Copies of this chain bind each other. A is one copy, B any other.
Amino acid sequence: MPDNPQKEQPRRRQARGERRIAQLLEAAASVFCTTGYTAASTNAIAREAGVSPGTLYQFFPNKEAIAIELGDRLMHEMREAYGEALAPVDPATPLEEAVGAAVDRFIAFNCDHPVFFALMHGPDIPGRIAEEHDALHATLASRIEGLLFSLLPDAPPADVTRTAHVCLGVYKAGLELVLAHEGAGRDAYIQEIKHVLIRYLEPLVGDRLGAPEGTDTATTRTA
């Protein structure tokens, strides 16, 4: 059988198909944002994309796959756009700066890609969280972990992991508040997130080289 070269999976996709996929993912992002993942219907996504339901299923086997692909692309974009933002950090960088930069970038990314938030606040039910959200979450968590390791090379891994999860949790909670406000209020909340994180990490990082004095002063808000 020398003449069925497409028998294997590689899926020679046409340009049109790629466009459709992008279209569908965009539509899915929009619908997920509007109605949440659980309540989003594949028909609604197809409608939003201006195609028939069948077309959607030509490219995705089910709703979850859409969310997964969306998450994957989001992660890729994040890596590309903010490249080494989360990469290990020069331990000499002041904590404030490191945290401030990371939060700013995250917030910017999330404002550009509101689905991110929708996907992270998984389809509810603590403990029975679906794949894609786990994936997003896990990826983010491990990146934060990496960052923390560069700041806290001597901390026990379990602690670093926990700290990373706490940071991510705080960030997500803060993001919700940030997105719920506009203008000055939003900026104020961004400041608060940074503040919470810095204050949380400070003692840990401070331990690196004996707690530097004056730290307290530096992070006391005036707002």
Seen from chain A, the residues whose Cβ lies within 8 Å of a Cβ on chain B are: 1, 3-4, 6-7, 19, 23, 33-39, 49-51, 114, 117-118, 121-128, 159, 162-163, 165-166, 169-170, 172-174, 176-177, 179-180, 185, 188-189, 192-193, 195-196, 199-200, 202-204, 206-207, 211, 215-216, 219-221, 223
Contacts and interface: CB of A to CB of B under 8 A. Distances in A.
Contact of A34 (B33, B125, B163): B125
Given A33-B125, A126-B118, A200-B199, A189 B211 contact: no
A37 B124 contact: yes
A218 to B, nearest CB: 10
B127 A180 contact: yes
Contacts of A159: 223
- Stoichiometry, as copies per complex, reads 4
A205 to B, nearest CB: 11
Binding site of A, secondary structure by majority: helix, strand, loop or mixed?
helix
Contact of A4 (B23, B169, B195, B207): B23
B172 A125 contact: no
A4 B165 CA distance: 39
20 contacts: A4-B50, A6-B51, A39-B123, A39-B124, A118-B125, A122-B124, A123-B124, A127-B179, A166-B173, A166-B177, A166-B196, A169-B174, A169-B176, A169-B177, A170-B170, A199-B202, A199-B203, A204-B221, A215-B216, A216-B216
Nearest to A48: B7
Nearest to A179: B126
Contact of A126 (B3, B117, B174, B192): B117
A169 B180 CA distance: 12
A120 to B, nearest CB: 11
A116 to B, nearest CB: 11
Contacts of A177: 165-166, 169
B188 A203 contact: no
A173 B170 CA distance: 6
A160 to B, nearest CB: 11
